[in-house]
Amino acid sequence: MEVSTITAILDTTLAVVFTWVAYKTGQIIWKYTPYSYPNARIKAMEARLLSDQRILELSESRTLQNFVVNLEDSDYGPRLTSIENVNLRNVEMALELSLVDLLELMVKIMPKRVKGFFELLEESIDVRNISNVVKAKLNGLPAQDYIIPAGKMLPKVKAITEAKTMEEILVILEGTEYEEPLRKLLLKEITIQEFELDLYRNYYTKLFKYANSRKGEEKVILLEFVRMLIDERNISTILRAKMAGMSPENLKRLIIEGGSLSRATLDAMVNAEDHIMAMGELEGTKYGQVIRDVREELESGNLEAIERAIRRYRLTRMKELAQFYPLSVGVALTYILEREMEVRKLRAIAKLIVDGVKPEKIKELVGEVA
Partner 1 sequence: MDPIVYVALGMALGAGIAGAASSFGVGIAGAAAAGAVAEDEKNFRNALILEGLPMTQSIYGLITLFLIGMTAGIIGGGGFKFAEPTTQNLIKSAILFGAGLLVGLTGLSAIPQGIIASAGVGAVSKNPKTFTQNLIFAAMAETMAIFGLVGAIILIMSL
CA-to-CA distance for 161 and 154, rounded, in angstroms? 10
Nearest residue to 237 (alpha-carbon basis) of 249, 253, 250, 254: 254
Residue 7 touching partner 1 (CB under 8 A) = yes
Do residues 339 and 49 lie in contact, with contact meaning Cβ atoms separated by under 8 Å? yes
Which residue number, 46 or 257, has a Cβ lying nearer to partner 1?
46
Do residues 351 and 88 lie in contact, with contact meaning Cβ atoms separated by under 8 Å? yes
Residue 174 touching partner 1 (CB under 8 A) = no
Residue 25 touching partner 1 (CB under 8 A) = yes
End-to-end alpha carbon distance in the chain: 76
CA-to-CA distance for 198 and 203, rounded, in angstroms? 9
Which residue number, 14 or 192, has a Cβ lying nearer to partner 1?
14
CA-to-CA distance for 295 and 309, rounded, in angstroms? 11
Stretch 311-330: interaction string toward partner 1, x if CB under 8 A: ---------------xx---
CA-to-CA distance for 83 and 291, rounded, in angstroms? 40
Residue 28 touching partner 1 (CB under 8 A) = yes
Which residue number, 10 or 141, has a Cβ lying nearer to partner 1?
10
State in angstroms the smallest separation of the CB of 326 from partner 1.
4
Contacts made by residues 102-106, CB under 8 angstroms, sequence distance 24+: 102/335, 102/336, 102/339, 103/336, 106/38, 106/332, 106/336
Which residue number, 43 or 361, has a Cβ lying nearer to partner 1?
43
Amino acid at 260: S
The size of the interface with partner 1 (CB under 8 A), counted in residues, is 32
Candidates 34-42, 62-70, 232-240, 362-370; binding stretch for partner 1 (CB under 8 A):
34-42
Which residue number, 169 or 318, has a Cβ lying nearer to partner 1?
318
- Helix locations, the chain, DSSP H: 3-46, 52-59, 64-70, 77-81, 88-109, 112-138, 154-162, 166-172, 179-186, 192-213, 216-244, 248-252, 263-271, 275-280, 288-293, 295-299, 303-324, 329-354, 359-369
Amino acid at 356: G
> Where in 213-272 is the site for partner 1 (CB under 8 A)?
none
Which 8-state DSSP code applies to residue 150?
-
Chosen residue from 15, 40, 171, 277 binding partner 1 by CB under 8 A: 40
State in angstroms the smallest separation of the CB of 215 from partner 1.
18
Which residue number, 46 or 180, has a Cβ lying nearer to partner 1?
46
Chosen residue from 294, 331, 332, 348 binding partner 1 by CB under 8 A: 331
State in angstroms the smallest separation of the CB of 118 from partner 1.
16
CA angle 224/208/187 to nearest 5° reads 135
Chosen residue from 12, 15, 23, 37 binding partner 1 by CB under 8 A: 37
Chosen residue from 15, 29, 83, 138 binding partner 1 by CB under 8 A: 29
Distances (CA, A) of 191 to 53, 130, 197, 366: 46, 15, 10, 35
Chosen residue from 16, 19, 30, 43 binding partner 1 by CB under 8 A: 43
Candidates 20-28, 149-157, 164-172, 361-369; binding stretch for partner 1 (CB under 8 A):
20-28
> Where in 86-125 is the site for partner 1 (CB under 8 A)?
109
Which residue number, 6 or 83, has a Cβ lying nearer to partner 1?
6
In this structure, the chain runs to a length of 370
Stretch 275-314: interaction string toward partner 1, x if CB under 8 A: ----------------------------------------
Chosen residue from 45, 69, 268, 354 binding partner 1 by CB under 8 A: 45
Q: Which residues bind partner 1 (CB under 8 A)?
A: 1-3, 6-7, 10-11, 14, 17, 21, 25, 28-29, 32-33, 36-48, 109, 326-327, 331
